[in-house]
Homo-oligomer: A and B are copies of this chain.
Amino acid sequence: MASAAPTGGDLSRLRQLNSLAVFGALRADGPLTLTAVAERTGLSRPSTKEVVDQLVELGWVVEVAPSAGTIGRPARRYRFRAEAGHIAGIDLGVHTVRAVVSDLDGTVLAETRQAVTPATPNDERIAAAERAVEGCLTMADLAREDLWTVAAGTTGIVDTAGVVRICAGIPGWAGVDLTARLGELFSCPIEIENDARLAALAERERGVAKGIRDAVFVHAGRRTGAALVIGGEVHRGFGGAAGEIGLHPVAHWERSADHIHDCPAVPAGVPKRDAARHTFAAARDGDPAALAAVDRYCDELAVGVSAMVMTLDPELVVLGGGFSPAGDVLLPRLRARLEEVCLRMPELRASTLGEECVAVGAVGRAVARLDAKHFGLTPGGIAPAR
């Protein structure tokens, strides 16, 4: 594609490239000796040394104690200094606001949650997010100034500027400029993205979709939604509306979860947040009403999922969201429905990440952006250094 040809450059650009390669090797594979780094990057030892020294000077890398017990002169070892900066990830959910604080590796250092309701006013919801982050910072013994990025995920469709455009779950949430609101609280860059997409990103980076290029992520829980991983990247769509197949009248996922929540197998008086667990437990015990509810739910889920699968032909479909622990109940039924229509059946897996996956995905997103910024690496290519 000559139109988007990577611009060449001078020697410093080459150094930048090699720097990035060394940095990537160190970050991906933990503490490494110089020889190991050289092997991984294809550089010679002297060059590797020079690059590593530079990275040490910049504070990205530190030397660690050599590993004892080896034959020959012990090699100096280096590792990525993940503690050089920190990131806050926020999940602005309908019923819960979660936050995590992580280092630059994405390792979660602290994690908090605040209960809210759909009726919680916007200001109060933002304040809950602030408290959640503040709690994490306290737990991790950090200050706001230590944060390099705050990334947040929210239900609904968010534009590239971080303004909520459409949101079904939270009345009055549409129109809120999250970048601006969070920008008032934190002086670092703010990233806003749709929650299902961040969950998909988390699966792609550290969940069951690790290493998969093309996957469909289904958020099955109190809300039903979807997100796509294409070519290893989470697909946003031109207007940020990718994966909203659930709003298609044929699928109509808006009320699908009701089959699970309003099932007769749920004892009276059980709060809504626990209803699903009862339904799935009853289904495992063979309760006919629960099984019927699960069947109906899977039928509706399958309509949208099959449309996405036949559109994209992904390698994998991930079942995520609050219902994902019930993968043993849901996946066989979903698989049966899909096999009836799909030309090529993708693999099906249930997510194993916990409920903080959106916040973790937010952190992943922020890490990717920081990489791009500090190393001139755009996702999937080399961009001119500006």
Contacts and interface: CB of A to CB of B under 8 A. Distances in A.
Interface of A: 1-11, 13-14, 17-25, 27-28, 41-43, 157, 166, 211, 213-214, 226, 228, 230-233, 235-245, 247-250, 303, 306-308, 310-315, 341, 343-344, 346, 367-368, 371, 377, 379-382, 384
Given A13-B14, A27-B2, A303-B250, A244 B382 contact: no
A300 to B, nearest CB: 13
What DSSP secondary structure best describes chain A's contact surface?
mixed
B240 A41 contact: no
A42 B313 contact: no
Nearest to A16: B8
Nearest to A14: B14
Contact of A17 (B9, B211, B233): B9
For the complex of A and B, the 8 pairs showing the least CB-CB separation, nearest first, are A237-B313, A5-B24, A8-B18, A8-B21, A238-B315, A241-B313, A239-B344, A307-B307
Nearest to A239: B344
A26 to B, nearest CB: 9
A3 B14 CA distance: 20
A381 B382 contact: yes
A382 B16 CA distance: 14
* Copies of this chain, tallied across the complex: 2
A311 B245 contact: yes
B243 A214 contact: no
B231 A311 contact: no
Contact of A2 (B1, B9, B28, B250): B28
B341 A248 contact: yes
A214 B232 contact: no
A230 B313 CA distance: 13
Contacts of A4: 232
Contact of A311 (B6, B213, B312): B312
B381 A381 contact: yes
B384 A249 contact: no
A6 B382 contact: yes
B6 A17 contact: yes
Contacts of A232: 1, 4
Contacts of A10: 43
A21 B7 contact: yes
A247 B313 CA distance: 12
Contacts of A17: 6, 8-9, 382
Nearest to A40: B7
B244 A343 contact: yes
Nearest to A371: B1
Contact of A237 (B214, B236, B307, B368): B214
Nearest to A15: B8
A8 B20 contact: yes
